[in-house]
Amino acid sequence: MEDFAAASGVSRPTVSKYFNDPNSVRKSTRARIEAAIERFGYRPNIYALNQNRKLTKNIGIVVPYLADPFFAEMARHIEAVVIAAGYRPILLGSHGDPAQELENLESLRDIRPAGVLLAPMGRRSDAERVRAFCADVTTVLFDCDIAGAGEAFVGSDNDQSIGLIVDHLCRTGTAPAFFEMREPANPNAIKRRNAYAAAMSRRGLEPMFIQVEGSGWDFEEIAFRGALRAIGRRALPSDTVLCSNDRLAIGFLSAAYERGWRVGRGPGCALRVAGHDDHPFARYTCPRLTTVAQDYAAIARRSAETLLDLIRGDSRATARETTLFRGRLVERASA
């Protein structure tokens, strides 16, 4: 920057000032600096720069698993909002590993982020240390909540969304059985399980569970194997199956097809299958998956804007806020 300043005939502090806000310097000097940029292609080192700024423009985004299109999509939305607000997103995936999650948070400290948007891994997260991080860095959680961590939480209203789809399924056919992992790593899964049970109870019906074994992030495979066995044993308690999430539904549909069970609501269909989330691939399953959409855009926008408000100091000191967005029924062919 020293050399660049000399080359552009301006002092270094002025150049620094320019990069901090081009409008803070006189038009004539701005022109000189910009001409020099054109000539030499100089740009300040963002990391050296962040070392001294009192407030950086860095926003960390941490998701549990980038190879899951749900999180990839969510991250994509959030990054767009963050960039539009003039901040700099740093996206980190934790590969489904709680240790990596902590490592990601710790490494974020080094860039002194203005704030962090964190989708925790869930039950496997080290809640204690996540809370400790949130105490130091302004953080907003999304998708998955950890009690007492972060300044706010933005997610989906599982009660409402599960109610919605159970409603739809009951209205259009047999009451659904609930297909899920026996020991899900995600608190949302627990909430959905309970929401399902409650929805059934409201109708005076006994909840029916199909629980499959498995752990890790290979949900489709877990569901595929589990469904294959359940269908093989003819152990389905209902001809309608509500899967705890779309990735499980994708595996389930694949298994049903494999077994020759026609899925859908038309005549000749043996089974109805529904999911939850409106996963990017849900529209291309066979048949196309009926599901309840999480509002990716709204969750992304709200969580990012909540964080930005906190950073800007517009809404300090208020109590921890929880925002739950309603799901939207996406009626396709599978149920």
Partner DNA sequence: CAGAAAAATTTACGCGCGTTAAAAAACTGT
Partner DNA sequence: ACAGTTTTTTAACGCGCGTAAATTTTTCTG
Enumerate binding residues for its own copies (CB under 8 A): 43, 45-48, 50-51, 66-67, 69, 72-73, 75-76, 79, 91-93, 95, 106-107, 110-111, 220-221, 224, 250-251, 253-254, 257-258, 280-281, 283-288, 333
- 42 vs 217, which CB is nearer to DNA? 42
Task: Decide which of its own copies, DNA, none touches 232; Cβ closer than 5 to 8 Å per partner kind.
Answer: none
Contact status: 1 vs DNA (CB under 7 A): yes
Would you count residue 44 as binding DNA (CB under 7 A)? yes
Q: Are strands 58-63 and 88-93 parallel, antiparallel or unpaired?
A: parallel
The entry of DNA, its own copies, none that residue 323 binds, CB within 5 to 8 Å by partner kind: none
What is the rounded CA–CA span in Å between residue 234 and residue 225? 14
Q: Which residues contact 149 (CB under 8 A, 6 or more apart)?
A: 120, 127, 130, 131, 134, 139, 141
Applying CB under 7 A, does 11 fall inside the site for DNA? yes
> Pick from DNA, its own copies, none: which does 284 bind, CB < 5 to 8 A by kind?
its own copies
- Residue 92: CB minimum distance to DNA, A: 19
Nearest C-alpha neighbor of 4 from the set 48, 44, 51, 31: 44
Q: By C-beta, is 18 or 224 nearer to its own copies?
A: 224
In this structure, the chain runs to a length of: 335
- 153: its two tokens: 């939480």
Pairing of strands 328-330, 291-293: antiparallel
The residue from 7, 13, 67, 258 that contacts DNA (CB under 7 A) is 13
In terms of CB distance, is 29 or 160 closer to DNA? 29
Start-to-end CA distance of the chain, whole Å, equals 62
107 contacts DNA (rule: CB under 7 A) = no
**Cα 65 → chain centroid:** 9
Strand ranges for 40-172 from DSSP E: 58-63, 88-93, 115-118, 139-142, 152-156
Is 174 one of the binding residues for DNA (CB under 7 A)? no
What the block records as the tokens of 165 is 């789809």
- Scanning 8-16, 85-93, 183-191, 217-225 for contacts with DNA by CB under 7 A, the matching segment is 8-16
Look up residue 81 and give its two tokens.
């909002």
Collapsing DSSP states into helix, strand and coil, what is residue 241?
Answer: strand
What residue ranges bind DNA (CB under 7 A)?
Answer: 1-2, 9-17, 19-20, 24-26, 28-30, 43-45, 48-49, 51-55
